[in-house]
Protein backbone atom coordinates (compact mmCIF):
# COMPACT_ATOMS: atom_id res chain seq x y z
CA UNK A 1 0.00 0.00 0.00
CA UNK A 2 1.38 3.31 -0.99
CA UNK A 3 1.00 6.44 1.08
CA UNK A 4 1.02 9.63 -0.90
CA UNK A 5 0.38 13.24 0.00
CA UNK A 6 -3.01 12.29 1.38
CA UNK A 7 -1.74 9.58 3.61
CA UNK A 8 -1.11 9.60 7.34
CA UNK A 9 2.25 11.31 7.02
CA UNK A 10 1.02 14.23 4.93
CA UNK A 11 1.02 17.84 6.13
CA UNK A 12 -2.76 18.02 5.90
CA UNK A 13 -4.15 16.17 8.94
CA UNK A 14 -7.65 15.97 7.40
CA UNK A 15 -6.30 14.40 4.28
CA UNK A 16 -7.13 15.52 0.77
CA UNK A 17 -5.56 18.16 -1.39
CA UNK A 18 -3.49 20.79 0.39
CA UNK A 19 -5.10 23.55 -1.74
CA UNK A 20 -8.50 23.03 -0.12
CA UNK A 21 -7.65 22.89 3.50
CA UNK A 22 -9.68 25.10 5.90
CA UNK A 23 -8.30 28.44 7.08
CA UNK A 24 -7.98 28.94 10.77
CA UNK A 25 -7.54 32.73 10.48
CA UNK A 26 -10.40 35.22 10.79
CA UNK A 27 -10.20 38.23 8.51
CA UNK A 28 -11.37 41.17 10.65
CA UNK A 29 -10.84 43.92 8.05
CA UNK A 30 -14.41 43.76 6.64
CA UNK A 31 -15.77 43.70 10.19
CA UNK A 32 -13.79 46.81 11.12
CA UNK A 33 -14.93 48.58 7.94
CA UNK A 34 -18.58 47.88 8.68
CA UNK A 35 -18.22 48.97 12.29
CA UNK A 36 -16.58 52.28 11.29
CA UNK A 37 -19.35 53.01 8.80
CA UNK A 38 -21.99 52.27 11.44
CA UNK A 39 -20.17 54.48 13.94
CA UNK A 40 -20.18 57.39 11.50
CA UNK A 41 -23.87 56.87 10.70
CA UNK A 42 -24.81 56.87 14.38
CA UNK A 43 -22.63 59.90 15.12
CA UNK A 44 -24.38 61.86 12.35
CA UNK A 45 -27.95 60.81 13.19
CA UNK A 46 -27.79 60.90 17.01
CA UNK A 47 -27.88 64.72 17.32
CA UNK A 48 -30.89 64.83 14.99
CA UNK A 49 -32.83 62.42 17.16
CA UNK A 50 -32.12 64.12 20.49
CA UNK A 51 -34.32 67.20 20.12
CA UNK A 52 -35.53 67.46 23.68
CA UNK A 53 -36.99 65.61 26.61
CA UNK A 54 -39.57 62.95 26.01
CA UNK A 55 -42.84 64.03 27.55
CA UNK A 56 -46.31 62.58 27.42
CA UNK A 57 -48.49 65.46 26.23
CA UNK A 58 -52.08 65.77 27.44
CA UNK A 59 -54.94 65.54 24.97
CA UNK A 60 -57.22 68.51 24.22
CA UNK A 61 -60.41 68.28 22.20
CA UNK A 62 -60.45 71.95 21.19
CA UNK A 63 -56.80 72.09 20.06
CA UNK A 64 -56.18 73.20 16.50
CA UNK A 65 -52.94 73.10 14.53
CA UNK A 66 -51.01 76.35 14.40
CA UNK A 67 -50.90 77.91 10.95
CA UNK A 68 -47.68 79.84 10.48
CA UNK A 69 -48.43 83.23 9.00
CA UNK A 70 -46.36 84.73 6.26
CA UNK A 71 -44.64 88.00 7.13
CA UNK A 72 -45.98 91.24 5.73
CA UNK A 73 -43.52 93.13 3.52
CA UNK A 74 -43.37 96.93 3.56
CA UNK A 75 -41.02 98.46 0.98
CA UNK A 76 -39.38 101.88 1.03
CA UNK A 77 -38.12 102.99 -2.38
CA UNK A 78 -35.08 105.13 -3.11
CA UNK A 79 -37.26 108.22 -3.50
CA UNK A 80 -38.96 107.67 -0.11
CA UNK A 81 -42.25 106.15 -1.29
CA UNK A 82 -43.82 103.41 0.84
CA UNK A 83 -45.47 100.29 -0.55
CA UNK A 84 -47.41 97.50 1.14
CA UNK A 85 -46.87 94.53 -1.14
CA UNK A 86 -47.33 96.13 -4.56
CA UNK A 87 -49.69 98.94 -3.46
CA UNK A 88 -47.96 102.34 -3.12
CA UNK A 89 -49.28 104.55 -0.31
CA UNK A 90 -48.29 107.27 2.13
CA UNK A 91 -46.96 106.58 5.61
CA UNK A 92 -50.25 107.75 7.13
CA UNK A 93 -52.20 105.22 5.03
CA UNK A 94 -49.83 102.38 5.98
CA UNK A 95 -51.10 101.57 9.48
CA UNK A 96 -54.82 101.40 8.57
CA UNK A 97 -53.95 99.17 5.59
CA UNK A 98 -51.83 96.91 7.83
CA UNK A 99 -54.58 96.68 10.45
CA UNK A 100 -57.07 95.75 7.74
CA UNK A 101 -54.67 93.16 6.29
CA UNK A 102 -53.85 91.57 9.65
CA UNK A 103 -57.33 91.84 11.13
CA UNK A 104 -55.95 93.86 14.05
CA UNK A 105 -53.27 91.28 14.89
CA UNK A 106 -50.34 93.37 16.13
CA UNK A 107 -48.14 90.29 16.67
CA UNK A 108 -47.59 89.64 12.95
CA UNK A 109 -44.04 90.10 11.73
CA UNK A 110 -43.60 93.10 9.45
CA UNK A 111 -40.53 93.04 7.24
CA UNK A 112 -39.20 96.36 6.02
CA UNK A 113 -37.30 96.26 2.74
CA UNK A 114 -35.67 99.61 2.12
CA UNK A 115 -33.54 100.63 -0.84
CA UNK A 116 -29.98 101.43 0.23
CA UNK A 117 -30.41 104.87 -1.34
CA UNK A 118 -33.67 105.52 0.55
CA UNK A 119 -33.62 108.52 2.86
CA UNK A 120 -32.92 107.47 6.42
CA UNK A 121 -35.75 109.68 7.65
CA UNK A 122 -38.27 107.76 5.52
CA UNK A 123 -37.21 104.44 7.02
CA UNK A 124 -37.31 105.80 10.57
CA UNK A 125 -40.71 107.36 9.84
CA UNK A 126 -42.13 103.97 8.81
CA UNK A 127 -40.65 102.25 11.88
CA UNK A 128 -41.94 105.02 14.16
CA UNK A 129 -45.43 104.86 12.64
CA UNK A 130 -45.57 101.09 13.12
CA UNK A 131 -44.15 101.15 16.64
CA UNK A 132 -46.48 103.89 17.85
CA UNK A 133 -49.46 101.77 16.76
CA UNK A 134 -48.35 98.65 18.66
CA UNK A 135 -46.73 96.83 15.76
CA UNK A 136 -43.38 96.06 17.33
CA UNK A 137 -42.47 92.81 15.53
CA UNK A 138 -40.40 94.53 12.86
CA UNK A 139 -37.57 93.03 10.83
CA UNK A 140 -35.20 94.96 8.55
CA UNK A 141 -34.31 92.97 5.47
CA UNK A 142 -30.84 93.16 3.93
CA UNK A 143 -29.11 91.57 0.97
CA UNK A 144 -26.92 88.64 2.07
CA UNK A 145 -24.34 89.43 -0.61
CA UNK A 146 -21.34 91.47 0.43
CA UNK A 147 -21.72 94.97 -0.97
CA UNK A 148 -18.38 96.08 0.49
CA UNK A 149 -16.47 94.01 -2.07
CA UNK A 150 -18.50 95.44 -4.96
CA UNK A 151 -18.43 99.09 -3.87
CA UNK A 152 -15.30 101.13 -4.72
CA UNK A 153 -13.35 102.61 -1.85
CA UNK A 154 -13.92 106.34 -1.26
CA UNK A 155 -11.18 108.55 -2.60
CA UNK A 156 -9.06 110.36 -0.04
CA UNK A 157 -9.29 114.16 -0.08
CA UNK A 158 -6.18 115.88 -1.30
CA UNK A 159 -4.50 118.19 1.20
CA UNK A 160 -4.20 121.85 0.04
CATH number of 72-143: 3.30.420.270
Q: Mean pLDDT, to the nearest integer, of 29-33?
A: 92
Whether pLDDT at 118 is above 50: yes
How many Cβ atoms sit within 10 Å of the Cβ of residue 118?
Answer: 19
Q: How far apart are CA 87 and CA 84, in angstroms?
A: 5
**Residue 105 near residue 137, CB atoms below 8 Å:** no
Domain limits of the chain?
A: 72-143
Confidence of residue 113 (pLDDT cuts 50, 70, 90): confident
Burial class of 76 by CB neighbour count within 10 A (0 to 12, 13 to 18, 19+): buried
Whether pLDDT at 53 is above 70: no
The per-residue pLDDT for 34 is 95
Q: Mean pLDDT, to the nearest integer, of 111-125?
A: 87
The per-residue pLDDT for 71 is 77
Could you give the C-alpha distances from 139 to 72, 93, 109, 130, 142, in angstroms and in order?
A: 10, 20, 7, 12, 10
**Residue 108 near residue 136, CB atoms below 8 Å:** no
Whether pLDDT at 41 is above 90: yes
The per-residue pLDDT for 159 is 47
Whether pLDDT at 157 is above 70: no
Q: How far apart are CA 83 and CA 101, in angstroms?
A: 14
Q: What is the 3-state secondary structure (H, E, C) of 101-113?
A: HHCCCCCCCEEEE
Amino acid sequence: MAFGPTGPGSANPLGGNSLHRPLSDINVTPLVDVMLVLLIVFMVTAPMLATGLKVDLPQAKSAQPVNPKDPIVVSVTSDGHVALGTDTMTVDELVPALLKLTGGDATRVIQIRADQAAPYGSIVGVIDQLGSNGMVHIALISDPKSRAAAAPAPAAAAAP
